[in-house]
Every structure is written in structure tokens, then in C-alpha cells.
Amino acid sequence: MKFEDYRISAQIKSQLKVLGFNKPTDIQFKAIDPILKGEDVLAIAQTGTGKTAAFVIPILEILEKKKSRGKQTEGVKCLVLAPTRELAIQISKVFESIGQNLKVVSACIHGGVEQDPQIAQLNKGVDILVATPGRMFDLVSQGHLNMKNLEILCLDEADLMLDLGFYKDIQDLLKHIPKHRQTLFFSATITLKIKKLAYSVVKNAIRIQISPKNPVAKNIDHAVVFIEMDDKRFFLENVLKEYEESKFVVFVRTKIRAERVVAAMERVMLKTEFLHGGVEQQERFAILDRFRKNENRVLITTDVAARGIDIPDVDYVINYDLPDVSENYVHRVGRTGRGNKRGQALSFCSKDEMVFLEDIEEYTGEEIQRFELTNGEYEDILGATDDGSYNWKKLIDEEGGGDEW
């Protein structure tokens, strides 16, 4: 079935054509109809499979139809919540591009920037609001956000939005919106516990659409290589120099490590940029923008960029540090292999991180391919560094690093 054959408005179809969307992806095929029928949906589908348009298309269609018929109540009709500001903006852009020729108005609000322009936009009338929870609650408590006629609540990265940290927010939100509404959950991962929570948020039955056994997207080749903690930077240098045309997202555990890795790469003449939650918001947007536009090809980041970010031409994901939350492995490697593209991911695992690797493999249900290095190859990589301050022979002699790995 093609989008042409769908009973949706011609304006949406023409925009889908402009975007090059001819056929729905699996999740779009399974989710669009039930959402159009008004059902609550819990949709689990792998990273990069087009979940955004799976909710954007029917939401636009439902609200546009009502608006065209002159059925207009005041306030926001649909609220889409996302965990990060970057993701909220990205989703909002999909609403804008698919909904370009429609009457429904969408907007995005998020923290880290001045709220006055956002309030001004809300006052002009917004049908679909994409938001991060923090700023949304600020505006609700100040009386700028009217959600008493809300018809659709959509949580993207739903498992995270229902988990610790956000769950209380969601519970609070439910007090501000009508009980009778349509609720949509989208994610690539969900645990049993969170699934139960999801069912407690919506009383009526919800559909589970696609539930893959191994949540890692099938078009991603992923492997793990065993590297001592102190040697990781030399291996990153090696990979970045070997694939000098490729685009990389490199995940590290902490903000400080992100900055240190950038500094270490600078010492060996590699230009990279770090992105983390401690960076001022406008700069966060600018960093991601430069990466999108290929002005920077290596992004060193924390889990702030793990969820939802869609940059279609990322060639490699490197887990410089393994994530301690297994789900995040799936989301991190999912920054590559978007849509029909293939992607590659490589994780650097130190002795201390073996426990995380075991957890991840238990979670994904499969052993991750080992990238084997002989002692000789390992030492060659250390020896090839352009970091003049590094006396690798001495280090190996002192610490015995490299022997068992």
C-alpha cells in the first residue's frame, strides 16, 4: 500500500511526496489506521523505522478534519512530549513539514531559552504543541497553557517519559487534561514494568504494534572490542583517522569525559565537538546543526543525544564508554542505520565495563559480535598515535595493559 491510497487529505499526501515518503514503513502501516480511528496505541518499533511520521500523519489528519469543519474549541488539542529539547524541535519540524499546507498550527516549547516568544506564539493559537515537560509545566502553572480541551496526548520515547524522573510529571499532567482523550505511546524499547505503567495511564485497551525480539535495529552491524580504559583515546584516534570521510557519534559516560575526549583528539589534530547537558542551550542547537550540516563530522556526546535524534547520514556510532542502562545501548546504536540505510556501531569495553556488556547482551538476547585484536595489533594502534606525550611502551610495561585484551 502506498500513501497515495490512504484516505488522508491531499495536502498531507503532497507533502509526503515532497519528503520522498512513498510507502509507509511497517510501523506507519500498523499505527496510522488505529490512530485515525481514535484508538489508544502503544507502539514499539525499532530505532529509525519512522515512528515520528507514524503519529504525525494521523494526528494532523484528525485535527485538520475537525478544523476544516469549523469544530474549534479553545486551547491546545494535541500535546506531544519528548525527553530532550533537541528531540522536541526535531518532532516539531516533522509536524511543520508534513503539515505545511494545513490549517492546523503546531508549535514547540522547551526550556533553556526565553519563554516570552513561546508565550506570544501560544497566545496566537496553537493546535499541536510539542514540548519538553519542564517548560510545559512552567507555562501551565503561569496560566499560559490551556489544555482543558486536549484531545490527543502523545509520548515519544514513552518508556523514558514514564520512567523515574518524568513519571511524576506525567501524573501531574493528567490532572490538567481531560480524562476522555486519545493516548499514544511510541518507543523502541519498553520494559514490563513500564508497560504496566503505560496501561495504568490509559484505562482502555491499547495495541502493541511491533515488538521485536532483539530491539537493536536489524540494519545496524554492531560489535564490541576490548580496550583498557586508558587506551581508549588511541583507539578512537585510530578509527577517526582511518575513516576520515565518515560521520561519527561517540557516546561517553559523563560531561567531563566528553570534554576530555575532545581535548585528547585535539592533541592529535582531530577536530571534534562535544555536546552535553551542561552546554548552554543555543550552543547545543548550534553544535547539532554543525554536525547535521557536516561542518563537524565527529560528535562526542553523553546520553543527551541518545534518544530520537535523526541525522540520516551518521556512518558510525562508537560507544567510547558502555552505557550502564541497557536500553540506552539500543538507543545509542540507533543513531545510525536510519531508515533504509545501514549503520555500524562499535563499543569499547574495558575490564570494568564487562558487567555492563553482560547486562546489555542479556537485554538484547544476543551475544554482540567480538572484534578480535591480537596483542600485536593492539600495540600497533597504541604505537601509531600522534600524541607525542605518550610513551606507550612505558605504560604497557608498568601496567601490563594490552596483554589480556
Q: Which member of 13, 15, 24, 82 binds ligand ADP (CB under 6 A)?
A: 24
Q: Is the Cα torsion angle 20, 26, 29, 30 positive or negative in sign? A: negative
| Part of the chain binding ligand ADP (CB under 6 A), chosen from 42-50, 227-235, 241-249, 279-287 | 42-50
For residues 173 and 118, give the distance between their C-alpha atoms in angstroms, rounded to a whole number: 19
User: Binding mask 301-320 vs Mg ion (x if CB under 5 A, - otherwise)?
Assistant: -------x------------
> Do residues 51 and 74 make contact, with C-beta atoms less than 8 angstroms apart?
no
Residue 79 pairs in a beta bridge with 129, 153
Of 329-348, binders to ligand ADP (CB under 6 A) are: 338-339
Does 99 participate in binding ligand ADP (rule CB under 6 A)? no
In the 3-class helix/strand/coil scheme, how is 323-362 assigned residue by residue? CCCHHHHHHHHCCCCCCCCCEEEEEEECHHHHHHHHHHHH
Of 190, 186, 92, 183, nearest in space to 135 by CA: 92
> Do residues 137 and 166 make contact, with C-beta atoms less than 8 angstroms apart?
no
Residue with smaller CB distance to ligand ADP, 53 or 60: 53
Q: Which member of 13, 30, 51, 257 binds Mg ion (CB under 5 A)?
A: 51
Q: Which member of 15, 40, 48, 95 binds ligand ADP (CB under 6 A)?
A: 48
Does 312 participate in binding ligand ADP (rule CB under 6 A)? yes
Residue with smaller CB distance to Mg ion, 153 or 357: 153
Instruction: State in angstroms the smallest separation of the CB of 229 from ligand ADP.
Output: 31
> Do residues 387 and 267 make contact, with C-beta atoms less than 8 angstroms apart?
yes
Instruction: State in angstroms the smallest separation of the CB of 213 from ligand ADP.
Output: 17
> Do residues 294 and 247 make contact, with C-beta atoms less than 8 angstroms apart?
yes
Instruction: State in angstroms the smallest separation of the CB of 186 from ligand ADP.
Output: 7
| Part of the chain binding Mg ion (CB under 5 A), chosen from 18-26, 45-53, 345-353, 362-370 | 45-53
Closest-CB residue for Mg ion? Answer: 308
Q: Quick one: what does residue 92 bind among Mg ion, ligand ADP, none, with the CB cut-off 5 to 8 Å set by partner type?
A: none
SS3 186: strand
Of 259-298, binders to Mg ion (CB under 5 A) are: none
Q: What are phi and psi of 164, to 5 degrees?
A: -40, 145
* Grid cell locating 241: 583517522
Q: Which residues bind ligand ADP (CB under 6 A)?
A: 21, 23-25, 28, 45, 47-53, 310, 312, 338-339
Q: Which residues bind Mg ion (CB under 5 A)?
A: 51, 308
